[in-house]
Structure 1
């Protein structure tokens, strides 16, 4: 498994834009498929998605392959990811 984060310095482009900037956290497998995803917003709102909970009214699990290089992210530990999960 691979674990990484990405800071997003833009607001959402919807009615939740006032949530502010966000940091995204990903767990991917060796095929770079996103298995779990967490988004933590500046206002402390948190969204979580996985294969059993792929979407809700706020967003959804990233589709397709994603690598740390694709999003210019930072490697994090499994422990750091699961503290948020």
Structure 2
């Protein structure tokens, strides 16, 4: 599988463990990750986490960590893409239609800024 430096790829997998602690009631989750090749590594650029209870988290370069978690900081493998690969359309459909709970204050601030300008 050839992957150019700028080409984005997408994968999805089900995580059958809960976060534990105060977020244990969220249940299990499905991860959607966009990756690009950096050198020999496949690095996450955007990530969506959809939890069993309906909570959704988004991470990217503009919001890479918070009290819930963070953008994946471990390289993925080409085998991950082969086994768990999805289309860009599937990833974008989730990114465009879900409302992440870890971005609500950020979105409100952005909307306020747009309204005042």
Give the whole-Å Cα distance in 2 for the aligned partners of 1:55 and 1:48: 9
Give the number of equivalent residue pairs.
85
Residue 72 of structure 1 deviates from its aligned partner by 8.6
RMSD over aligned Cα atoms: 1.9
**Which structure carries more helix by proportion?**
2
Which structure would you say has the larger RCO, counting Cα contacts within 8 Å and 6 or more residues apart? Answer: 1
Q: Which residue of 1 aligns with 2:18?
A: 11
Could you tell which deviates more after superposition, 59-68 or 32-41? 59-68
**Preserved contact between residue 34 and residue 46 of structure 2 (Cα < 8 Å):** yes
Q: Which residue of 1 aligns with 2:43?
A: 33
Residue 24 of structure 1 deviates from its aligned partner by 0.4
Residue 36 of structure 1 deviates from its aligned partner by 0.4
TM-score normalized with structure 1 length: 0.89
Unaligned 5+ runs, structure 1: none
**Which structure carries more strand by proportion?**
1
Could you tell which deviates more after superposition, 68-77 or 36-45? 68-77
Report which of the two structures shows the higher radius of gyration computed on alpha carbons. Answer: 2
Unaligned 5+ runs, structure 2: 1-7, 96-117
